């Protein structure tokens, strides 16, 4: 009888021991798979020059595990603790305020042309709070448009777009070096780099907190974030994606920061927002090849700094505002205005002059008496559809302009080459 009772008791004790072991194991921190294989070398804060890089290490490893395609084997360099070394962590660049090497952090991610495939790139950006530049054109990233929080200190921003002239790769991890452009398998490598300010108390002319989000040629398919304008980026390039929905009104908050914006060839829709006209310091606004509709808001006459304005290939209608066309004169800097492929029905005298000068393109609209227009039946069909966008107001109050931005445009100016603009240069493979 005793032996009969003893056997279940032993079995019960063994079972309890086994369950306790399982619970103990499950209570341990779950490490990334590749780190679990080498748990003896699990990284500690003391292994990194700064706490920021310690946290960046885990963000990078988590992102690495979401990548499903890496044709250039870039992620094989994302190992070890030295994120800022020259030959490791390709695509990641570090920097720190002058004299504050203990604050070394990841300030830029340059993935141009890597061909990486991941649905989770916005998570990487969210977990690298000091990013000023995220440049990842010609990859296969999906999901939403990330928002850059950006650096909390000033630096010098250099635009790089020279053929065959790459930035020196200098990721030394010291306070004397910020970041550089890394080109992989490309002869043309446009980009941006940051240089430190040597004397933060007396910053040089051109010191900025500018940020760049360059994600042309990916698979982004969500609507633009409603709070996009609060990221205060200077260069925004999202061409050749599958973005949907409206251009958010929050873009008006980029008034003091945005220099160039490229939304070309997406699936953006809804009315052309009045707030775009508040971007008085912006040189490039390109929202061509979308499904935007409505008349051009009167606020567009405030775009005194715009040089390239492309709204072609949408569903815009009404009259082309003469006040907008006058920005090609002394009142502004406009050198190219593309409105082809819409449903405009008339132009004023200032716009007619721009057509003759080759500045304004209105082909394939519905303007009576003009060559190369849509057929009458197609125009009548569109114009008979209900219109829900607000009519353009007669007058608009423009934001107060900087004295520097209010300088008259030079006489006899000529249009710049497209490659001189950051957002267009990054379209190149």
Return the closest-CA partner of residue 218 out of 242, 246, 236, 182: 242
**What are phi and psi for residue 18, nearest 5 degrees?**
-65, -45
**What are phi and psi for residue 73, nearest 5 degrees?**
55, 35
Q: Percentage of residues in the chain with pLDDT exceeding 90?
A: 48
The residue-averaged pLDDT of 26-52 equals 62
Residues in the chain: 429
Distance from C-alpha of 94 to C-alpha of 83, rounded to nearest angstrom: 8
Residues contacting residue 261 through CB under 8 Å, at least 6 positions apart? 236, 237, 251, 279, 282, 284, 285, 286, 287, 423
Structure tokens at 276: 């775009």
Lowest mean pLDDT, pick from 54-68, 121-135, 347-361, 364-378:
121-135
Distance from C-alpha of 266 to C-alpha of 287, rounded to nearest angstrom: 8
Yes or no: say if 317 and 340 are a contact pair by the CB < 8 Å rule. no
Sign of CA dihedral 231, 276, 246, 423: negative
The residue-averaged pLDDT of 117-128 equals 85
Yes or no: say if 332 and 409 are a contact pair by the CB < 8 Å rule. yes
Yes or no: say if 84 and 172 are a contact pair by the CB < 8 Å rule. yes
Distance from C-alpha of 311 to C-alpha of 12, rounded to nearest angstrom: 76
Alpha helices in 280-332 (DSSP H): 322-325
Distance from C-alpha of 16 to C-alpha of 375, rounded to nearest angstrom: 83
For residue 375, the model assigns a pLDDT of 97
* C-alpha distances in Å from residue 356, one per residue of 77, 317, 349, 350, 359: 55, 21, 11, 10, 8
Distance from C-alpha of 192 to C-alpha of 204, rounded to nearest angstrom: 18
The residue-averaged pLDDT of 178-192 equals 31
CA angle 379, 381, 384 (to 5 degrees): 105
Lowest mean pLDDT, pick from 100-109, 110-119, 301-310:
100-109
For residue 284, the model assigns a pLDDT of 97
For residue 317, the model assigns a pLDDT of 98
Distance from C-alpha of 105 to C-alpha of 334, rounded to nearest angstrom: 39
Domains along the chain with CATH numbers = 44-222 (no CATH), 228-392+416-429 (3.80.10.10)
Evaluate if residue 171 carries a pLDDT over 50. Answer: no
Q: Would you give the DSSP letter of residue 129?
A: T
DSSP SS3 for 7:
helix
Task: Read off the pLDDT band of 21 (50, 70, 90).
Answer: very low
Task: Read off the pLDDT band of 244 (50, 70, 90).
Answer: very high
Task: Read off the pLDDT band of 259 (50, 70, 90).
Answer: very high
For residue 298, the model assigns a pLDDT of 94
Tell me the Ramachandran region of residue 404: left when phi exceeds 0, alpha when psi lies from -120 to 50, beta otherwise: alpha
Give kind and range of the element (H or E) at residue 353: helix 349-357
pLDDT winner (highest mean) among 127-136, 141-150, 221-230, 382-391: 382-391
Yes or no: say if 175 and 98 are a contact pair by the CB < 8 Å rule. yes
Q: What is the maximal distance between C-alpha atoms in the chain?
A: 111
Pairing mode of beta strands 92-95, 105-110: antiparallel
Tell me the Ramachandran region of residue 147: left when phi exceeds 0, alpha when psi lies from -120 to 50, beta otherwise: beta
Q: Would you give the DSSP letter of residue 227?
A: T
What's the distance, CA 131 to chain centroid? 12
Distance from C-alpha of 247 to C-alpha of 268, rounded to nearest angstrom: 7
Residues of 395-405 as b/e, b for ≥16 C-beta within 10 angstroms?
Answer: ebeebeeeeee
The residue-averaged pLDDT of 370-374 equals 96
Task: Read off the pLDDT band of 116 (50, 70, 90).
Answer: very high
Yes or no: say if 246 and 273 are a contact pair by the CB < 8 Å rule. yes
């Amino acid at each position: 009888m005793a032996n009969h009772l003893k056997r279940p008791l032993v079995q019960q004790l063994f079972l309890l021991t086994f369950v306790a072991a399982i619970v103990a194991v499950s209570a341990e921190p779950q490490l990334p798979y590749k780190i679990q294989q080498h748990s003896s070398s699990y990284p500690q804060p003391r292994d990194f020059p700064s706490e920021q890089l310690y946290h960046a290490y885990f963000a990078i490893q988590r992102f690495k595990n979401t990548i499903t395609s890496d044709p250039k084997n870039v992620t094989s360099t994302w190992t070890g603790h030295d994120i800022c070394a020259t030959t490791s962590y390709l695509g990641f660049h570090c920097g720190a305020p002058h004299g504050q090497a203990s604050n070394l952090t990841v300030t830029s991610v340059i993935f141009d042309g890597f061909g990486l495939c991941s649905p989770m790139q916005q998570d990487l950006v969210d977990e690298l709070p000091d990013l000023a530049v995220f440049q990842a054109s010609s990859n296969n990233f999906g999901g939403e448009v990330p928002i850059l929080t950006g650096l909390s200190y000033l630096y010098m921003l250099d635009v790089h777009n020279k053929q065959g002239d790459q930035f020196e790769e200098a990721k030394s991890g010291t306070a004397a070096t910020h970041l550089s452009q890394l080109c992989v398998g490309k002869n043309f490598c446009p980009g941006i780099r940051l240089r430190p300010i040597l004397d933060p108390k007396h910053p040089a002319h051109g010191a900025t907190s500018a940020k760049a989000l360059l994600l042309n040629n990916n698979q982004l398919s969500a609507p633009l974030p409603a709070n996009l304008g609060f990221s205060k980026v200077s260069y925004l390039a999202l061409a050749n994606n599958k973005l949907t929905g409206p251009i958010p009104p929050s873009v008006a908050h980029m008034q003091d920061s945005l220099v160039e914006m490229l939304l070309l060839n997406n699936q953006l829709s809804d009315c052309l927002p009045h707030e775009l006209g508040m971007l008085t310091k912006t040189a490039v606004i390109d929202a061509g090849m979308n499904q935007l509709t409505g008349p051009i808001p009167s606020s567009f006459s405030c775009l005194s700094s715009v040089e390239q304005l492309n709204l072609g290939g949408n569903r815009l209608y009404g009259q082309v505002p003469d006040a907008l066309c006058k920005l090609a004169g002394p009142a502004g800097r406009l050198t190219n205005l593309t409105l082809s492929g819409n449903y405009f029905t008339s132009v004023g005298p200032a716009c007619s002059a721009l057509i003759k000068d080759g500045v304004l393109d209105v082909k394939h609209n519905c303007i009576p008496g003009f060559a190369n227009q849509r057929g009458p039946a197609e125009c009548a069909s569109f114009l008979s559809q209900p219109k829900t966008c607000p009519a353009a107001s007669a007058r608009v109050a423009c934001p107060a302009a900087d004295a520097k931005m209010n300088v008259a445009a030079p006489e006899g100016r000529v249009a710049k080459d497209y490659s001189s603009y950051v957002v267009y240069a990054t379209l190149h493979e």
